């Protein structure tokens, strides 16, 4: 197993991921800080972030189902279009309502784009190599995001100075740059090939019949609801905790340490860099000890770092704990996605990814509305609440799947299958 040898279609999707990482990082990193510059209260910011998170969740299940049945490519284009429009709504709209509309379109776009993109990418490799491609794709997105965030921290003030505009207009100009990079994805996405949906047909011959073959339709395999529920429950608990802290991290450093945006850009860029590196390491760890154990170990490390954030008065220690928390908690996502797909029939891969994302994003989308008001009274309490949910989620996942880890799994036809996939890709 390795990170090399993919066909041109897989490589094209990797390049699309880089463009998505650049455009997406310009917007998401600065959007929360932009709300702070507009002098909205933590409670109001929490409502906007809640809307963004909630709308990134509502269409996940129907979008995944539609992608499986009618094509992933059309869902990718639809989601990309929404994310391109979103920054322009924020740029040209005035007031709280337009910020909510922009946040809504950004959330909807992500819910259409993400699961369909991964499901289409999974067609480009065999099952055993999928975790490597997913990890490489995540690495590309994270490293491009890291470089972007480093620049983004300086961009609004820099543009404000050279263009002689306000700092708010500096943010808006940066959002236009984000939309430009997202627009560059269209030619790549339109060039992708998608496998035709398999006709679920069995050819049957009557005994002694010499005439034309008769066709009998058969249904796709049933949805494995028990497995999907067991995958979704820990995700829901993780989402509850994440929604209390993750959307507020930029502002948390501002509220607690009055950290300049430029320093935040450097900190978040360093985090994204190590985060991306972790994506390359995790598949090897997973192959050695199993996906379930690997996921559980890194989540435990993240919980320890999370508790360290509110108990330290030092910015540098908090920054280090932030890096450890973000890298360790998120390093396992590609492995978890690959493991989840491997637990269900391929006909339900998009639906499974949508279901797990749905379970994570619904509570993550709702809890910022609560978290914003908690921060108004206590900056530390959300971290302890989050840690409690993370502990329960990690235990639940490990207990549910420790008996079905993928350590030592093999596929005798993997090399032959990989060659076939690459031939189709080329």
Structural domain includes residue 1: no
> Comparing 11-15, 31-35, 82-86, which segment has the lowest mean pLDDT?
11-15
Q: Compute the chain's Rg from CA coordinates.
A: 22
Q: Do 355 and 62 contact (CB within 8 A), yes or no?
A: no
The pLDDT > 90 percentage for the chain reads: 48
Q: Report helix, strand or coil for 104.
A: helix
Structure-block tokens of residue 320: 């280090």
The answer to the question of residue 325 being in a domain is: yes
When mean pLDDT is compared across 324-328, 354-358, 383-387, 417-421, the lowest value belongs to 417-421
What's the pLDDT at 189?
Answer: 92
Domain span at residue 181? 8-193+225-405
Q: Let me know if residue 15 belongs to a domain.
A: yes
Give the mean model confidence (pLDDT) for residues 341-357.
75
Inter-residue contact 238 to 393 (CB < 8 Å): yes
Q: In this predicted structure, what is the pLDDT of residue 184?
A: 96
User: Which residues have CB under 8 Å from 130's CB, separation 6+?
Assistant: 122, 338, 341, 342
Q: Is 252 exposed, middle or buried (0-12, 13-18, 19+ CB in 10 A)?
A: buried
Q: Note whether residue 79 is domain-resident.
A: yes
User: Does residue 140 have a pLDDT over 90?
Assistant: no
Least confident of 156-160, 166-170, 394-398, 399-403: 399-403
Number of domains in the chain: 1
User: What's the pLDDT at 397?
Assistant: 93
Write down the pLDDT at residue 414: 47
Q: Kindly tell me the burial class for residue 16, based on how many C-beta atoms sit within 10 Å of its own C-beta (0-12, 13-18, 19 or more).
A: buried
Q: Is the per-residue pLDDT at 315 higher than 50? A: yes
Residue 322 in any domain: the answer is yes
pTM assigned to the model: 0.75
DSSP character for 212?
A: P
CATH number of the structural domain spanning residue 50: 1.20.1250.20
pLDDT band at 287 (very low <50, low <70, confident <90, very high): confident
Burial class of 379 by CB neighbour count within 10 A (0 to 12, 13 to 18, 19+): middle
pLDDT at 126: 65
* Cα–Cα distance, 160 to 152 (Å, whole number): 13
CB 368 within 8 A of CB 246: no
Contact 342, 131 (CB under 8 A): no
Q: Which pLDDT band, with edges at 50, 70 and 90, does 128 fall under?
A: low
Contact 244, 371 (CB under 8 A): yes
Confidence of residue 197 (pLDDT cuts 50, 70, 90): low
DSSP state of 166: -
Q: Look at residue 414 and tell me if it is in a domain.
A: no
Distances (CA, A) of 317 to 204, 313, 320, 325, 356: 69, 8, 5, 12, 33
Both tokens assigned to 30? 């600065």
Most confident of 108-122, 192-206, 295-309: 295-309
**What's the mean per-residue pLDDT of the chain?**
84
Give the whole-angstrom CA distance, residue 101 versus residue 95.
Answer: 10
Show Cβ contacts of residue 237 under 8 Å, excluding neighbours closer than 6 positions: 363, 389, 390, 392, 393, 396
pLDDT value, residue 342:
77
- State the CB neighbour count (10 A cutoff) for residue 57: 25
With respect to residue 423, please indicate whether it lies within any of the assigned structural domains.
no
Q: Is residue 150 part of a domain?
A: yes
């Amino acid at each position: 197993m390795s990170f090399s040898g993919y066909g041109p279609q897989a490589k094209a999707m990797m390049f699309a991921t880089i463009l998505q990482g650049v455009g997406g990082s310009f917007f998401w990193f600065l959007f929360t800080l932009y709300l702070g510059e507009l002098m909205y209260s933590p409670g109001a910011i929490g409502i906007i972030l809640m809307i963004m998170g909630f709308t990134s969740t509502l269409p996940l299940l129907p979008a995944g189902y539609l992608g499986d049945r009618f094509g992933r490519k059309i869902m990718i284009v639809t989601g990309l279009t929404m994310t391109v429009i979103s920054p322009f709504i924020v740029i040209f709209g005035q007031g709280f309502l337009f910020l909510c509309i922009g946040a809504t379109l950004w959330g909807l776009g992500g819910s259409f784009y993400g699961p369909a993109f991964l499901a289409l990418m999974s067609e480009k490799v065999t099952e055993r190599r999928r975790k490597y491609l997913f990890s490489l794709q995540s690495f590309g997105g994270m490293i491009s995001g890291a470089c972007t965030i480093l620049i983004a921290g300086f961009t609004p003030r820099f543009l404000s100075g050279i263009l002689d505009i306000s700092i708010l207009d500096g943010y808006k100009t940066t959002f236009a740059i984000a939309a430009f990079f997202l627009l560059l994805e269209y030619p790549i996405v339109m060039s992708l090939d998608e496998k035709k949906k398999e006709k679920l047909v069995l050819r049957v011959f009557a005994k002694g019949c010499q005439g034309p073959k008769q066709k009998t339709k058969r249904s796709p395999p049933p949805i494995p609801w028990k497995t999907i529920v067991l995958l979704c429950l820990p995700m829901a608990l993780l989402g509850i905790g994440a929604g209390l802290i993750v959307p507020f991290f930029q502002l948390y450093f501002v509220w607690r340490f009055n950290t300049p945006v430029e320093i935040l850009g450097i900190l978040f860029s360093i985090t994204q860099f190590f985060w991306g590196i972790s994506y390359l390491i995790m598949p090897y760890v997973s192959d050695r000890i199993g996906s379930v154990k690997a996921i559980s170990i890194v989540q435990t490390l993240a919980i320890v770092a999370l508790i360290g954030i509110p108990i330290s008065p030092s910015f540098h220690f908090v920054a280090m704990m932030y890096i450890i928390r973000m890298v360790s908690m998120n390093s396992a996502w590609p492995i978890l996605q690959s493991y989840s797909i491997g637990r269900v029939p391929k006909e339900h891969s998009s639906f499974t990814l949508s279901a797990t994302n749905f379970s994570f994003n619904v509570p993550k989308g709702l809890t910022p509305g609560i978290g914003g008001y908690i921060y108004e009274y206590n900056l530390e309490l959300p971290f302890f609440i989050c840690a409690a949910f993370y502990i329960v989620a990690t235990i639940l996942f490990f207990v549910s799947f420790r008996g079905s880890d993928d350590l030592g799994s093999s596929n005798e036809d993997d090399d032959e299958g990989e060659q076939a996939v690459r031939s189709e890709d080329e």
